[in-house]
Structure 1
């Protein structure tokens, strides 16, 4: 019977081409708008480190004198606190992180010095976050301890300085210091750059930079302190006196983040106790002049707290799906007009023995066919929407794409939406009284 219903649906669509085109257009535009915004939302809300994110935690404590004004600790720590927690080695892996803006002086002739984003970190950073290497590898803990003049380059910076060749063993000059390249990253761009997501709640949810490219330069933390501590950012200081930016490790300023890998529940509970004990110890000696204020969030909890999905993307997604609902209501009206307009035909079929269930099924098949056609055109509008998004001036624009699951979701949504929209018109059509229609005839 489905084949017969499909044949009848095709004949009906050909008879009312204009009405069919309006319904297909309504569904296609609604699907295109909703799937375009959904693809952006899916991109921004994805797991940045699948299979491992539930083992990564971001401990926090409050080193400043203004803790009574906050309900949660500062996003970053002062260097002394971060180093104390890191050097205790209470986790499977631990990584301190601090950002800076440095200047690179190319050794090749014809290239001018330029600024480059830099991350000072510790050796566990690379295995902890599954950072891929194209050439070489990370520095060792022993090299880090002696503040070795070593550096890891991003693939983009290696392409700019060395034409993409294997530059391990070559020298680069950063902030006037000559450093030896020990590794070059492969293509790596976590979404977002979760390891330095800080401050977004205090900046009105401006999180676009978290979806941009990764840092160009990775330095061992002691080396970064030696050559770039005056360039560390962001930082928050709480001293009434002048800040000595050349000795940031001893200044009352928060500028270092700490990540720990804790694979078991026992390890997490142990580190939480250690964090609380450290805070109590520092308060007992007068370094933390405030009540206890500590916290340890998982990677997902930290991203949710920082509200890394831009507020305008959430709003656009809600508006797009609201627009889809409006399109479906319009489709309901058009289907109702179409089916009721065929009351005479339906009355004759009912008089000839067709059941209400058969009429209802035929109308639903026709609604599903309209939805399928609308879904195919909706895919075209989705592709056009994604292309338009990729030209927007936002950091994540080049990451937006259309994939097979999105295509399947769009088709399923179009078919399901059209069937839902067709239920009431089909029900009304199946209730047409055959005797009344025959009398009119």
Structure 2
């Protein structure tokens, strides 16, 4: 259903618009008699298309367009006016209107314009799909992307300036993410290694991916991120380091016509904030078919505990294979859950490492260390399952992401021959 708002102080003009719109199916129309009423209606709900008169009492169409566009950029506004002059047209377009038509309205031209806007609205509502996506999080991204070639300190400074000084993103973690990327870039350039950064996005997320990371080993990068970017959501795979940055949800602003506030207060109210996802809200939106699999995670966790205890008693490739096989079943369920890519990445990283582990190179004392930490990890993820999906008490569904990855890395470091370079960490210039 396409929502259309007709704004005009003349009742006959509104009736004319209603008659013209009868040409279209699956639309719902609402009327407003002036700009102030239009603003109030738009604060209550989103309208896909607004037909806006210019000359109206109380609040005119130019002001109303500017205010509405300040909190709802996706609504499409078509200005309708008896004023056929460039000044009025330019003022409406500068205020945010997509188009301008003069009265009296020519039927065929009106129908053509509205048909085009309805098509755009319908296409917007379809989820984008890009099979050429660079990031490993999602293929549901816009067709556009932005690529930075990092081959000099100047190109790195351009990245910094674009995201922290120019781009209008309201993302809570953006500054921390860019600082980490800047540090990685500095380290890579010092080692005479250039690389590319690709930015992709959709309505909900910005994805920033660093390509061809070869100057730092994976374990060092993981430790640096866990230490310096605890809230980061990332996947490191095949020399690609990709970050997912959730975009902020807009908090509706106070009605400015009824409350007098200064410019500074208005600028604060205009800001957006990232809202944490409550467990109760997340579970409510989770498919029933997945909930059955989530309940079965308790049985899988019990099998993992049994396999870990057996591995401590008899550490060989067969008992280790039993652990990785059962852990794969656990990961399969987590992989199907929206919003838990980072959680699944942590478990996948550990499992992939264990699958390639050569036990002949491991000291006997390390098997007991592994068993203790692995059982502790299983306790943590069982607590995660209960707090989110059973008790629904978690205030943030991502409360365990960072500590889980840290534990997985700690387990991996027991056996890993790929030492974390203290020199690498010391060379990182974080500020």
Q: TM above 0.5, one fold?
A: no
The answer to which structure, 1 or 2, has the higher relative contact order (CA under 8 A, 6+ apart) is 1
Question: Could you tell me the TM-score, scaled by structure 2's length?
Answer: 0.26
Structure exhibiting the larger radius of gyration computed from Cα positions:
1
